[in-house]
Chains A and B, each alone.
Chain A
């Protein structure tokens, strides 16, 4: 009923299944995790605003536009903030047409969100930036970006990495908004970073209800 060659079939099936399982595991591990699906996301924004020019070249502070970040949480600038300067500088540039329109009508600009935190996660910027976690830890070198790009996976594992061992990511208070600065552990060693964590009472929560409130 079956040819002689079929006797090697079970062995082949096992070998191919193992290969398939290996490839599938590797594939899922790479292509189906936020490291691949999220990092590198760089949507086109309604205004071609260059962080590289404003922050990198002109030295604007993060908080000039994201002005409530250390007190109330995340903030996107209103058209008014742009117009503070652009009513005088390049005030007829076609790139700024959307900003002028929003300024006159009072309808906010529809910025495209880059880093999406799911609604079941409680995240507060203020507590992080006020305790020495620099912007650069999550957002990368925004001062070099023409288009804002997601730099970190923002997965739960990414959060927990830091919450489990915060000492590697802490900076002096003066360096928090300096995207070119180095963390304490890199400058003065882990001991110093641990001392900083103790002095500033930095004990990040690992409870489920810390973030899933």
Chain B
């Protein structure tokens, strides 16, 4: 089609003439900051002494956390009877709080994974703390199902481990699906968080080393696994990170879906409903974003992060709250519609009972906080008032807690038979345990902001508008003309990504094979400039996913059909339908393992000792400078001529690296 080709070339010429107007986009980092400013700001939080408010908060949080410790100790010493559960309400605050915390845990992975896939770059300044929040929330959530077993030391019965009882788990139960969903979610969240943090840990390592704080440098160094910002590593790393995001997206949707199955698969009116999965997921994202705002707003004020968490970020989060809050409100309305339209008297009564029964107050708090409150975010004035946003984010979580309470307790307390109706109120032990989990969460979060980089430094740098030239002026590095005793190769510094891109193209064209670029963040286009092909990480991910799915299916078939065939509720011994949720979770888990394992293998990491890491200039390589390293083992390497080539390309501070 020659016509089309002409048209495109013609239109591009026209575009050059017209110069289309730039769409005004909110800057992700305010104040026209440089690369090194971001490094200093975020790493400085970890490096400086803990401020007084941190110690006060930590002491208070530890005190609150002791309530959970006390409650659980008393429970274990006495028995689960100390909780207020009585027939018919056999699930009370334990499961309410479990769903509440798991729901909060959803925003982290959503921000890291789904927003990454949707190219929402504003996620970069909040994803690290949101992921940390996810992990700590999952930890708090896991307390409840484990301890409501009563004998928590038998929790391993939930896992498919060979045992003297010679029994296997019942994979027809959504409660068993839940075990796999939560365990996979926790594991993948931790991996995602840690892998994302490796480049920043390397930055901290080099900064502590330069500051002469050896112990901290070694600890961060061990955790950074020898990361050196090599572009060959970045290539695999970015691919692995993208795949992890792709894996975490269906995971985050499946986890709360499976949590909702705990209810939806049962027969209780008010639970037995197909709307539960989407409605639970929307509610989880809603409460998670509420919690992110609750945590991020004080951090922003205390550490002066207004340039990194801008009004644009807060607007975006408020809008997510508005959208998901409206979805939840829609689900409440549809539930009533279904109850009426199904003409099922029990279903109808269940919902009337929710609104006007003995627990009606919880229902109206839920409507007020989860449906009405987010509607305020239509107004820009509200979104710009930080104190108000903070208070509203607290109310959102109050509303979501009431929602779980309405679903679980109200439905259980009045089911089909009025003769078996009951009333539930929590015991003081339950109240202690729940109150304390906020302390547990706060202790973990305070430790996180004290010891780990609270924002994704490398990612923030990549999102700077001037990730073009002039990141920081000056190349204060002194080169050394001398020869190293046992030479590894030559290293040259470049002050901007653009320079290093041009230089890399030349080095590639000169026919070098064993060389690398060292960059503080993945520079777009550098892979092509270096002649690196597409990463091979995805092959491992595919193999891992298939292996995980097959493992799940074969395991459940072996356990529930072959080795321990037990008739439960007239269900078949094996069906791919009920084996699916667990196999699905295992597919994601195995794929995550092979993705990360494959990335490490391809990068031959961990490698804590490397000639590049020995050089003093690496400190700038994980901060704001760009380097090219040409190895001596390359057949085209010649000390004098290669040095001349690098000088000609504008490389500064050229030095020979010692092996």
A residues with CB within 8 A of B: 1-7, 9-10, 29, 33-35, 153, 155-157, 160-161, 206-208
How far apart are the CA atoms of A207 and B170 in the complex, in Å?
13
Measured CB to CB, the closest approach of chain B to A151, in angstroms, equals 16
Measured CB to CB, the closest approach of chain A to B357, in angstroms, equals 34
Q: Does A34 contact B164, Cβ atoms closer than 8 Å?
A: yes
Q: Which of B271-279, B418-426, B601-609 contacts A (4 or more CB under 8 A)?
A: B601-609
Query: Which residues 601-632 of B have a CB within 8 angstroms of A?
Result: 606-609, 613
B residues with CB within 8 A of A: 162-167, 205, 209, 214, 217-218, 221, 225-226, 566, 606-609, 613
Of chain A, the residue at the smallest CB distance from B221 is A1
How far apart are the CA atoms of A34 and B606 in the complex, in Å?
42
Q: In this complex, which of B163, B166, B218 has the most chain A Cβ atoms within 10 angstroms of its Cβ?
A: B166
Measured CB to CB, the closest approach of chain B to A213, in angstroms, equals 16
In the complex, chain A residues whose CB is within 8 Å of the CB of B608: 1-2, 6-7, 9
In the complex, chain B residues whose CB is within 8 Å of the CB of A206: 566
Known contacts A1-B221, A206-B566; decide if A157 and B166 are in contact (CB<8 Å).
yes
Candidates B166, B167, B225, B226; contact of A161 at CB < 8 Å:
B166
In the complex, chain A residues whose CB is within 8 Å of the CB of B225: 10
Q: Does A155 contact B165, Cβ atoms closer than 8 Å?
A: yes
In the complex, chain A residues whose CB is within 8 Å of the CB of B167: 156, 160
Apart from A3-B609, A155-B165, list 4 A-B contacts with CB within 8 A: A6-B609, A7-B607, A9-B608, A156-B165
Q: Does A2 contact B221, Cβ atoms closer than 8 Å?
A: yes
Q: In this complex, which of B205, B566, B606 has the most chain A Cβ atoms within 10 angstroms of its Cβ?
A: B606
How far apart are the CA atoms of A160 and B166 in the complex, in Å?
8
How far apart are the CA atoms of A5 and B609 in the complex, in Å?
8
Q: Does A7 contact B164, Cβ atoms closer than 8 Å?
A: no
Measured CB to CB, the closest approach of chain B to A169, in angstroms, equals 16
Q: Does A1 contact B164, Cβ atoms closer than 8 Å?
A: no
Q: Does B609 contact A153, Cβ atoms closer than 8 Å?
A: no
The 9 closest A-B pairs by CB, nearest first: A157-B166, A156-B165, A155-B164, A2-B608, A6-B608, A10-B606, A33-B164, A4-B609, A2-B609
In the complex, chain B residues whose CB is within 8 Å of the CB of A160: 165-167
Of chain A, the residue at the smallest CB distance from B209 is A1
Measured CB to CB, the closest approach of chain A to B529, in angstroms, equals 29
Measured CB to CB, the closest approach of chain A to B81, in angstroms, equals 16
How far apart are the CA atoms of A157 and B608 in the complex, in Å?
48
Of chain A, the residue at the smallest CB distance from B206 is A1
Measured CB to CB, the closest approach of chain B to A13, in angstroms, equals 9
Of chain B, the residue at the smallest CB distance from A156 is B165
How far apart are the CA atoms of A157 and B164 in the complex, in Å?
5
How far apart are the CA atoms of A117 and B182 in the complex, in Å?
35
Of chain B, the residue at the smallest CB distance from A155 is B164
Candidates B164, B205, B226, B613; contact of A156 at CB < 8 Å:
B164
How far apart are the CA atoms of A164 and B165 in the complex, in Å?
13
Measured CB to CB, the closest approach of chain A to B350, in angstroms, equals 30
In the complex, chain B residues whose CB is within 8 Å of the CB of A157: 163-166
Measured CB to CB, the closest approach of chain B to A181, in angstroms, equals 27
Measured CB to CB, the closest approach of chain B to A36, in angstroms, equals 10
How far apart are the CA atoms of A156 and B607 in the complex, in Å?
49
In the complex, chain A residues whose CB is within 8 Å of the CB of B214: 1
How far apart are the CA atoms of A10 and B601 in the complex, in Å?
12
Measured CB to CB, the closest approach of chain A to B513, in angstroms, equals 22
How far apart are the CA atoms of A31 and B165 in the complex, in Å?
15
